[in-house]
Amino acid sequence: MNILATQQNSENYILDESDRKIISVTQTGLPLTLHPYNDVAEQTGLDVNEVISRMKNMTDQGIIRRSGVVPNHYKLGFKSNGMSVWHVQEEKITQSGEKVGALDFVSHCYQRPQFLPEWPYNLFAMVHGKTHDEVHEKVKKIADLLAGDNLAHQVLFSTRILKKTGLRI
Amino acid sequence: MNLHEHDKKIINQLQGGFPICENPWKELEKTLEIPADEIISRIKKMKSEGVISRFGPMYHAEKMGGGLTLAAMKVDKERYDEVTEIVNSFSEVAHNYEREHELSMWFVIATELPQQVQQVIDKIEQKTGINVYNMPKLQEFFLGLKFEI
């Protein structure tokens, strides 16, 4: 199957009732037991092999981004969280995003709309570090990497978490 | 926070993926060289301590038919607490952060249907009288998801 066909499928993938049951049981997490998928099977009334094949399929389709543990950066000592925003030349945006997204200290990297003239930044990269200085050093690395394709950038540090719900989708 | 060598191994390995099969721990036992019951109890402990915020699949909101966006507002210091209360009162607001910038409030809106995002934004604008900058992602760049610790 070629890549285009795969992408098209994932856009059009329709979740059926059994998929939705699995999602509803697992969206807050998997049970920490010896056989977590058997437990999901029990809770959904589906066969364990069906749970596994459906979850694999949803992973292939991109409905499940990934499965595993999500560490809390803050608790691990990454107390500084900087949202770096970049004004990248439009025609270089994909190339730049791919370069920045591949860096191991960047946890999220997206293209977002500009609000000209006051907000020209179209590329967002979340940078975590133990201190603000460490984040600044990492942002400098991004700036070096983007070089002339970067027209302007800023780092917005978070000063307070105002709300954080358990559900992560 | 001091983590045991095994905790670090578990985090580093499991950020990359948890197997979808009947005996997921068996595979991990081999890779990590840690017994399954120890891996499970360490994950449980780290979860209860908040070191791990989540264990399991992460779903893609838009592909599930939902709406998702990042929104920002310019909120003055004098009104900050009041506006925080209004914004947080929406169940669709999943995360909300104060940031050092004129655009001082940044939050994620997640809705069941895509068209509900604009409805939530309209309501927040009505209730606060403050303009909401709607910044949905236009393109996502792949994340290896890593954080070696």
Alpha-carbon distance of B107 to B101, in angstroms, equals 14
Which of A70, A97, A158 lies closest to B139 in CB terms?
A97
* CATH 3.30.70.3460 is right for the domain spanning B67-135: yes
Within chain A, what is the greatest distance between any pair of CA atoms? 57
- Find all residues with CB under 8 Å of B74, minimum gap 6, and list them: B102, B103, B104, B130, B131
Which of A34, A56, A161 lies closest to B25 in CB terms?
A34
pLDDT at A5: 33
CB contact under 8 Å between A160 and B16, yes or no, is: no
CB contact under 8 Å between A169 and B60, yes or no, is: yes
Distance from CA of B56 to the nearest CA of A (A): 4
Regions of chain B short of the pLDDT cut 50:
none
**Domain residue extents for chain B:** 5-49, 67-135
Mean pLDDT of A12-34: 90
- Find all residues with CB under 8 Å of B52, minimum gap 6, and list them: A69, A70, A71, A72, B11, B43, B46
pLDDT at B144: 56
Q: What is the dihedral of CA B55, B47, B146, A133, to 10 degrees?
A: 150
Q: Just give the CATH number of A3-60.
A: 1.10.10
CB contact under 8 Å between A111 and B97, yes or no, is: no
Closest Cα in chain A to B132: A115
Tell the burial category of B88 from Cβ atoms under 10 Å away from its Cβ (0-12, 13-18, 19+).
middle
pLDDT at A107: 82
Kindly report, as residue ranges, where domains of CATH 3.30.70.920 are found in chain A.
80-157
Which of A71, A119, A157 lies closest to B11 in CB terms?
A71
Residue A1 has pLDDT above 80, yes or no: no
Mean pLDDT of A11-38: 90
Most confident region among A4-8, A58-62, A136-140, A157-161 by mean pLDDT: A136-140
pLDDT at B1: 65
pLDDT at B2: 77
Tell the burial category of B126 from Cβ atoms under 10 Å away from its Cβ (0-12, 13-18, 19+).
exposed
DSSP B112: S
Of the pLDDT bands very low, low, confident and very high (cuts 50, 70, 90), residue A169 is: very low
Residue A99 has pLDDT above 90, yes or no: yes
pLDDT by residue (tens digit) across A75-98?
A: 888 888 899 999 999 999 999 999
CB atoms within 10 A of CB A24: 11
Mean pLDDT of A7-32: 81
Chain-wide mean pLDDT for chain A?
88
pLDDT at A9: 40
Pairs of CB atoms within 8 A across A/B: 226
pLDDT at A70: 87
CB contact under 8 Å between B56 and A23, yes or no, is: no
By the CB < 8 Å criterion, does B140 face chain A?
A: yes
pLDDT by residue (tens digit) across A108-132?
A: 899 999 999 999 999 999 998 899 9
- The CATH architecture assigned to A80-157 reads 2-Layer Sandwich (3.30)
- Please name the amino acid found at residue A130: K
Kindly report, as residue ranges, where domains of CATH 1.10.10 are found in chain A.
3-60
Closest listed residue to residue B11, CA positions, set A78, A58, A110, A97 = A78
Q: What backbone torsions phi and psi does residue A2 show, to the nearest 5 degrees?
A: -80, 165
pLDDT at A10: 44
- Find all residues with CB under 8 Å of A160, minimum gap 6, and list them: B97, B98
DSSP A115: B
The rounded percent of chain A whose pLDDT value lies above 90 is: 68
pLDDT at B145: 55
Which of B17, B84, B88 lies closest to A68 in CB terms?
B17
* ipTM for the predicted complex: 0.80
CB atoms within 10 A of CB B149: 17
CB contact under 8 Å between A37 and B22, yes or no, is: yes
Classify the C-alpha dihedral A147-A149-A153-A157 as positive or negative: negative
What part of B 77-96 touches A (C-beta under 8 Å)? 84, 87-88, 93-96
Alpha-carbon distance of B1 to B75, in angstroms, equals 34
What part of B 10-69 touches A (C-beta under 8 Å)? 10-11, 14-18, 20-25, 36-37, 40, 43-44, 46-47, 49-61, 63-66, 68
| Cis check: omega of the bond before A117, within 30 degrees of 0 | yes
Which of B21, B46, B141 lies closest to A109 in CB terms?
B141
pLDDT at B28: 94
Distance from CA of A5 to the nearest CA of B (A): 16
